Chains A and B, each alone.
Chain A
């Protein structure tokens, strides 16, 4: 098991425990660590917007009411 996977496994365990749940173990923990890594990769691929006033598109679509 690589250091990266070990670190992510520890993070997974901490996250589940913080949710008040029993953390996965064994193969399930290893799979969760892999999923965690993929989720972080997905997030890194999302471009960032430098304009701080550009807000996320959430809730009712007022743009569609015009």
Chain B
């Protein structure tokens, strides 16, 4: 078969197509060095090799993907590619609706959404020629208490860098897939850090855009005040390609922003000279500090920004993380309960413990308390936004530790609860997790960057500049590595 010959030649050259970034795969497709079908076959080969270990997928439709890849092959041959995502295999978290491919939210609870609905962001990606491979593992309904109880039908996703470790959540399968190359990129959803946290745990770029920038039409809601879908990708360039494709006004989402989107790709490599970077070394002065490897990554990042010509000033956030969490938690729980009330009342026996325990509190929160939290939210948004009058970009921790062992539930809960996703989920500012190398035990390190409202272009520019210093050659976990960690862990 021609595809096998192509894959064999690339393997001889030391390049498994499934290991490529989106940008590099796209360039090779455009140059005729690989066909979309061969790229898809390489992704299927990765799935066959490692998905029984990392559990990134809940379901897929290989025939449909092959059909779309064949159409991309033709466009590539004719010189009529639709753009840089044409022929690129991707997958979406299983709380994103896709006609023809069931959406369960990772739950046993029967779902009643329109089976013909496809999320706007999927429609936009497919219109750009990207090839949907399947639906990715997730915490049930994309939410929970942060604990992993191993009580859902699908086993939880595992971290490809060490399968005995947690992927972060709730976009568990999205991070596992991109880190392992079972998809070249993925779309997750971020309510309190659920794109950025798994991206950090698995060594990826994870973007939470400005609230309202990426349509939630066709996305199972979790908390409509905070929900923001977003890409998980190998590099900032990949993230820019994806963001520029899916961002923009959508009449189907009542909170969609109508303000024009500034594309992130054109200025991505313009550098950071003259930018003012606020360095938040520790979100919680006087409290727990990030572990040494993460502190080192943060210091190295600050030094790199200064070396590249940015002005770096150390600052503290004006608001303690506990203040954000105290306001975000009742909003999140009340809205989740409102969304899933009938499921909770009628089918909670089918739910996993983590979702059920999260929804429990929603049953008993007072409406006045929920609305008081939403009034406080307005004040916190304004106070958070004041930071961006002082600096262009914030550099701060995403997590305080590396991904813990998945069977250590207290550590898993602490890892999630102690992450720094909540401030920008509550405020709506754009923020991303950026890989920062590996810890001595071989687990990914990450830092977080944030910027002013609708300033994704600036955020991505800063991220790209820092990436060239921290991880100029981002990698996916090789199948041999994944399987060897599984063997060591006895998985």
Q: Interface on A for B, CB 8 Å cutoff?
A: 12, 15, 19, 21, 31-32, 35-36, 38-40, 42-49, 54-61, 63-65
Contacts and interface: CB of A to CB of B under 8 A. Distances in A.
Interface string B285-319: 00000000000000000000000000000000000
B82 interface: no
Contact of B374 (A15, A48, A56, A61): A56
B330 interface: yes
B378 A54 contact: yes
Contacts of A35: 360-361, 363-364
B212 A49 contact: no
B374 A42 contact: no
Interface string B397-435: 000000000000000000000000000000010000000
A65 B256 CA distance: 10
B255 to A, nearest CB: 5
A64 B329 contact: no
Contacts of A32: 360, 363-364
Given A55-B378, A63-B381, A48 B211 contact: no
Contact of B377 (A19, A21, A48, A57): A57
Nearest to A65: B259
B371 A56 contact: yes
B325 to A, nearest CB: 10
Interface of B: 210-212, 225, 254-259, 326-327, 329-330, 345, 360-361, 363-366, 368-369, 371-379, 381, 428, 453-454
B244 to A, nearest CB: 19
A49 B379 contact: yes
A41 B330 CA distance: 11
Given A47-B372, A60-B212, A65-B259, 4 more contacts: A58-B225, A61-B257, A63-B381, A64-B211
9 A-B pairs with least C-beta separation:
A43-B369, A56-B374, A39-B364, A57-B378, A36-B364, A46-B372, A35-B360, A56-B375, A60-B255
Q: Which of B326, B327, B372 has the most CB of A within 10 A?
A: B372
SS class, residues of chain B in contact with chain A: helix
B369 A42 contact: yes
B428 A40 contact: no
Q: Which of A36, A42, A60, A64 has the most CB of B within 10 A?
A: A64
Nearest to B374: A56
Contacts of B363: 15, 32, 35, 39
Contact of A39 (B256, B361, B376): B361
B378 A56 contact: yes
A59 B255 contact: yes
Q: Which of A12, A42, A48, A57 has the most CB of B within 10 A?
A: A57
A55 B428 CA distance: 17
Nearest to B367: A43
A12 B369 CA distance: 18
B428 A61 contact: yes
A49 B210 CA distance: 26
A35 B377 CA distance: 24
23 contacts: A12-B364, A15-B363, A32-B360, A36-B364, A39-B366, A40-B366, A42-B369, A43-B330, A43-B365, A43-B368, A46-B376, A49-B375, A49-B379, A55-B375, A56-B375, A56-B377, A59-B255, A60-B254, A61-B211, A61-B212, A61-B428, A64-B453, A65-B257
A10 B373 CA distance: 27
A35 B358 CA distance: 10
A64 B345 contact: no
B330 A46 contact: yes
A58 B374 contact: yes
A63 to B, nearest CB: 7
Contact of B210 (A31, A45, A64): A64
B253 to A, nearest CB: 9
A49 to B, nearest CB: 5
Contact of B454 (A46, A47, A54, A64): A64
Given A35-B364, A64-B259, A65-B257, A57 B327 contact: no
Nearest to A48: B372
A32 to B, nearest CB: 7
Given A21-B345, A58-B374, A46 B326 contact: yes
A42 B402 CA distance: 29
Contacts of B369: 42-44, 46
A43 B366 contact: yes
